[in-house]
C-alpha cells in the first residue's frame, strides 16, 4: 500500500491503489478514501466562510482564528485516539483491513539493510498526524501573523455590543500610529482625548444601544451627525470597514482579472477594464437588475443612430 494521509484538520482526498501481488503490499488497501465521511473540520469551514464574506465582522473573525488555533492544539495533544477510532469505523464500514498498530515497518528514507524499524502507530501518529497539524498551524501563523493579529485586535475594540464593553483607548490610539499616513501629528496627539469623550457620550446615548456591529455603528454615527463631532473616531471606523475589502475581496478581484483580461482581450483600456471588473465582482447585484430598465436608463443619455422598439420606451 502506498502511503496515505488521514488528516482531520486538513481535509484532502487521498487515493491508495492496490498493487499487484509481486509488489508485496501490506494487507490493507484503500481504493478510494474521502476523509469528509469520517472527520469533522475543527472550525476551518466557519473561519473560511466568515473571511470570504464582504460584510466581514472583524470581532467574529478574530475570535474564530483563536478558536481554530486552540482546537488544533487540543487535537494534537489529545485528539489521536478519537481520530483513530473514526478511521477504524470508516475502514470497517468500507471493508478495509486496518493494520496492527504494534507491527513494525522499515523506516522510510533509510536502507532496509540498516534494519531500523518503527511501529505503525509511530508512523501514522508521529510522522503523519502530528506533522499535518503542525504544517497547518505554521500556515495559520503565516496567514495571521502577529502584526495582523494586533491590527484585528485593535479594530475589535470598536465593537459596540454590551455598551462598548471592548472599547480600549490605548489600542485604538495605537491604530493612529499604525496608519500614520492617514493621521497627522496633531491627529495622533488629540485622538486619545477624542476617544475618551466619544465613548462616554455614546454610552449615555440610548440610540447607540441598538448597534450590533461596526457597520451599524457607522450608520448611526452619520444619522446622529456624530461623525462630524468625532472625525478621528469616524476615520477609525472607516478604516475598519475598508479592512475587509483589502482582504477577501482583493483575492476575488485578482481571480476576476484572469477571466476578464485574456489573451484575446489584452489591449483593453483601463476604464473599460475597470467597468467590467465591477460588473463581474458585483455580479450578484447586477443579476437582480432588469435589462429593459438598463436600456431605458441609458437610451436618453445620448442620441443614437438606431431606434429601439416602442415596447422598450
pLDDT digits (tens, 9 = 90+) for 183-216: 999 999 999 999 999 999 999 998 898 888 888 8
- Which of 23-37, 198-212, 279-293 has the highest mean predicted lDDT (pLDDT)? 198-212
Cα 3–6–7 angle (5° rounding)?
135
pLDDT tier, 20 (very low <50, low <70, confident <90, very high otherwise): very low
Residue (of 81, 120, 123, 127) closest to 103 by Cα position: 120
- Give the whole-number percent of the chain exceeding pLDDT 70: 74
Q: Are 62 and 156 spatial neighbours (Cβ–Cβ below 8 Å)? A: yes
Distance CA 98, CA 87 (A): 9
Residue with cell 503565516: 142
Q: Give the Cα separation of 242 and 55 in Å (integer).
A: 10
Q: What is the pTM of this model?
A: 0.52
pLDDT of residue 121: 92
Greater model confidence, 313 or 307: 307
100-128 pLDDT, tens digit per residue, is 999 998 888 777 777 788 999 999 999 99
Q: Which three cell numbers stand for residue 285?
A: 447585484
Residue in the block written with cell 441609458:
298
Q: Are 176 and 192 in contact (CB under 8 A)?
A: no
CA end-to-end span of the chain, whole Å? 70
**What are the structural domain ranges in the chain?**
45-144, 158-242, 262-312
Query: Residue 188: exposed, middle, or buried by beta-carbon count in 10 A (0-12, 13-18, 19+)?
Result: middle
Residue 40: its pLDDT value, please? 52
Per this entry, what is the length of the chain? 313
Instruction: Give the mean model confidence (pLDDT) for residues 80-94.
Output: 91
Of 154 and 6, the structure prediction assigns the larger pLDDT to 154
Q: How far apart are the C-alpha atoms of 246 and 50, rounded to whole Å?
A: 15
The cell for 147 is 502584526
Complete DSSP assignment for 152-185:
HHHHGGG--HHHHTT--HHHHHHHHHHTGGGS-H
User: Is there a contact between 1 and 26 (Cβ–Cβ < 8 Å)?
Assistant: yes
SS3 287: helix
User: Could you give the C-alpha distances from 240 to 11, 57, 146, 157, 217, in angstroms and in order?
Assistant: 32, 10, 18, 10, 11
Amino acid at each position: 500500500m502506498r502511503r496515505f494521509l488521514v488528516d482531520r484538520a486538513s481535509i484532502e482526498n487521498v487515493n491508495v491503489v492496490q498493487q499487484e501481488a509481486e509488489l508485496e503490499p501490506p494487507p490493507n488497501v484503500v481504493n478510494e478514501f474521502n476523509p469528509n465521511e469520517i472527520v469533522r473540520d475543527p472550525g476551518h469551514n466557519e473561519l473560511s466562510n466568515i473571511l470570504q464574506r464582504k460584510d466581514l465582522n472583524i470581532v467574529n473573525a478574530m475570535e474564530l482564528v483563536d478558536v481554530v488555533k486552540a482546537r488544533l492544539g487540543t487535537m494534537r495533544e489529545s485528539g489521536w485516539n478519537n481520530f483513530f477510532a473514526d478511521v477504524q469505523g470508516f475502514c470497517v464500514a468500507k471493508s478495509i483491513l486496518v493494520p496492527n498498530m504494534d507491527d513494525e515497518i522499515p523506516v522510510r528514507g533509510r536502507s532496509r539493510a540498516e534494519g531500523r524499524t518503527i511501529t505503525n502507530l509511530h508512523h501514522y501518529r508521529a510522522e503523519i498526524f502530528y506533522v499535518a497539524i503542525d504544517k497547518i498551524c505554521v500556515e495559520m501563523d503565516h496567514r495571521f501573523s502577529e502584526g495582523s493579529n494586533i491590527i484585528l485586535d485593535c479594530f475589535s475594540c470598536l465593537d459596540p455590543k454590551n455598551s462598548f464593553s471592548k472599547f480600549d483607548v490605548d489600542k485604538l490610539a495605537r491604530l493612529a500610529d499604525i496608519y500614520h499616513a492617514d493621521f497627522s501629528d496633531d491627529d495622533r496627539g488629540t485622538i486619545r482625548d477624542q476617544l475618551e469623550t466619544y465613548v462616554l457620550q455614546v454610552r449615555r446615548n440610548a440610540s447607540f444601544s441598538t448597534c450590533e456591529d461596526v457597520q451599524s455603528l457607522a450608520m448611526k454615527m452619520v444619522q446622529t451627525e456624530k461623525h462630524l463631532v468625532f472625525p478621528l473616531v469616524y476615520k477609525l471606523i472607516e478604516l475598519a470597514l475598508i479592512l475587509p475589502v483589502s482582504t477577501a475581496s482583493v483575492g476575488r478581484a485578482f481571480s476576476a482579472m484572469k477571466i476578464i483580461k485574456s489573451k484575446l482581450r489584452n489591449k483593453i483600456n483601463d476604464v473599460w477594464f475597470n467597468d467590467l471588473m465591477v460588473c463581474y465582482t458585483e455580479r450578484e447585484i447586477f443579476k437582480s437588475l432588469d435589462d429593459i430598465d438598463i436600456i431605458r436608463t441609458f437610451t436618453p443619455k445620448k442620441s443614437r443612430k438606431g431606434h429601439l422598439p416602442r415596447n422598450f420606451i
